[in-house]
Amino acid sequence: MKGKLGIITGALDENSIAWKAALKAHEQGGRFVLTNAPIAMRMGAIKELAEQCNTIVIPADATSLEDIEKLYIEAREYLGGNFDFLLHSIGMSPNIRKGRSYGDLNYEWAAKSYDVSSVSFHKMMQVAEKMDAMNEWGSILGLSYIAAQRVYPFYTDMADAKALLESIARGYGYRYGKLKKVRVNTISQSPTKTTAGTGIGGFDTFYNFADSMSPLGNASAEACADYIITMFSDLTRMVTMQNLFHDGGYSNTGISEDIMNKFMDL
């Protein structure tokens, strides 16, 4: 990461995946700007992270093209160059927050879920392309969840948002690869105890279930940060347009002995 410049979105508090990724990127010699929605800024924690990483925070709502443009202009000025890495670590569903089931979605809120959690990924790349803000062989990452492929009933409209996010990674990955050798991928992470994660109904149950299913157990936020840094490094330059499972083996496990044992006495 030495000499690499970038932007890290989504660090809300010390549990956030982006928080761990920022600490790791800093430790590995990367330089970056932190950003989050103006409302998240009021909670203040991100400023402590900025101090630890010797950087600044630039507020930006990831659904606003103007905010993204301003973010890139200020970040380029502060860092003194174009970006080698962008981390999109953003997710939010008003339907989940307000406990609406998949058969009772508020469609305005669903549109907000898609805009915040998926379309913002496209917006970040489209603005970067128009401003020519990425360096050649740069790496762009989003964070996904296996509900994009399989049904997790409580994940409701976020499942559709993640399917869209992964599709955008393929679509833009092709385009940015051709244009500038920039790679675009999503990391599909295990359930993780963060604000976004624990907001989902039944989280503790499917956290424990996934842990029992995975031969390596659930991947922690720290382990996810390691994978993020790996994907930002030059060692993964030919990986693009992929959804990469980072889940301790969960996605390829049909059943585990642990789960079987739980049903033994029934």
Question: Per CB under 6 A, which region of 143-151, 174-182, 208-216, 237-245 contacts ligand NAD?
Answer: 143-151
Residues 6+ apart with CB under 8 A from 145: 155, 158, 159, 162, 188, 189, 191
17 sits near ligand NAD (criterion: CB under 6 A): yes
Q: What angle do CA 62, 82, 121 make, to 5 degrees?
A: 25
- Identify which of 111, 67, 119 has the alpha carbon closest to the alpha carbon of residue 93: 111
186 sits near ligand NAD (criterion: CB under 6 A): no
225 sits near ligand NAD (criterion: CB under 6 A): no
Q: Which residue has the tokens 């500038």?
A: 180
Q: Which residue has the tokens 């624990």?
A: 198
134 sits near ligand NAD (criterion: CB under 6 A): no
Which of 192, 214, 218, 240 lies at the binding interface for ligand NAD (CB under 6 A)? 192
Beta bridge partners of 5: 31
Which of 1, 116, 141, 184 lies at the binding interface for ligand NAD (CB under 6 A)? 116
196 sits near ligand NAD (criterion: CB under 6 A): yes
71 sits near ligand NAD (criterion: CB under 6 A): no
62 sits near ligand NAD (criterion: CB under 6 A): yes
In this structure, which amino acid lies at residue 207?
A: Y
Cβ atoms of 187 and 227 within 8 Å: the answer is yes
Comparing CB distances to ligand NAD, the nearer of 177 and 199 is 199
Which of the 8 DSSP states describes residue 117? I
- The token pair that represents 172 in the structure block: 């833009």
Which of 55, 63, 118, 186 lies at the binding interface for ligand NAD (CB under 6 A)? 63
Q: Give the residues lining the site for ligand NAD (CB under 6 A).
A: 9-10, 12, 16-18, 36-37, 40, 61-63, 89-92, 116, 143-145, 189, 191-192, 194-197
